[in-house]
Structure 1
Amino acid sequence: MKYMVLMYADPAATAAMTDEQRAGVFRRHEELHRDLEGSGEMLNGAGLAYPADTTTLRWNGDGPDGPTPVDGPFAAAAEHLTAYYVIDCASPERAREIAGRVLDFHVVAVEVRPVHDSFGMG
């Protein structure tokens, strides 16, 4: 089963990280990548730019102007989506085990969500 592991952090805390803290976070993720690539469970992943660099498009009905672009993230929050992995593993328990490895002082919440292989809702 495929899962999306969505990582959330406070952008201000990320910006305030020391070089040593940043290096520690990178080491932990590199180790996780090596483990999951070796087991075949890592499919994809990336870090995301700061929320301030985001544009959100909002549905504007069927009006002639189309979607309305808004600077900033979808929702106002202290923590924002900072990175993601797409993994393929045997069980929800294994997905949660993998997700637990990214929690720390920086990534303060992780969402584990099953991925549909099609755009259907089943």
Structure 2
Amino acid sequence: MKYMVLMYADPAATAAMTAEERAEVFGRHKALHRDLVDTGELLNGAGLAYPVDTTTLRRGEDGPTASEGPLTGAVEQLTAYYVIDCESPERARTIAERVVDFHVVAVEVRPVHDFFGMG
């Protein structure tokens, strides 16, 4: 089963991280990436630009309208993701637990459908 592992962090806290903190976060993701490549579970993943660099499109009466910034005004914003293919929801949660730390304060684990709207 495929899962999205969606990571959330406070962009202001990310910007304020020290070089040592950045190195720690990078090291943790590098180790996880290596492990998931070794098991064949990693399909894709990337870090995302700061939310200030985001454009959100919404449905309007006359078609899509664009606004600068992320979809929500929450402090925590989507910061990175992995797409994994693993044997169970429990395994997906175990993988996701490895990215929760002082930087990534919340993680969503969401099943991926192979076709839009199809279970």
Q: Is TM > 0.5 for Structure 1 vs Structure 2?
A: yes
Deviations 1:57-107 (A, max 9, x none): 11013x2xx311100000100100000000000000000000000000000
TM-score by length of 2: 0.98
Paired residues in the alignment total 119
Shift of 1:120: 2.5
Q: Does 1:74 align with 2:71?
A: yes
Identity over aligned pairs, percent: 76
Structure 2 partner of 1:28: 28
Which residue of the partner structure matches residue 115 of structure 1? Answer: 112
Give the Å deviation of 1:121. Answer: 3.2
The RMSD of aligned alpha carbons is: 0.7
Structure 2 unaligned regions, length at least 5? none
Please list every run of at least 4 consecutive aligned residues from structure 1 whose deviation after the TM superposition is greater than 6 angstroms: none
- The reply on whether 1:87 has 2:84 as its aligned counterpart is yes
Write 1 or 2 for the structure with the bigger share of strand: 2
Taking structure 1 as the reference length, what is the TM-score of the superposition?
0.95
Alignment of 1:44-59 (within 5 A): 44-59=44-59
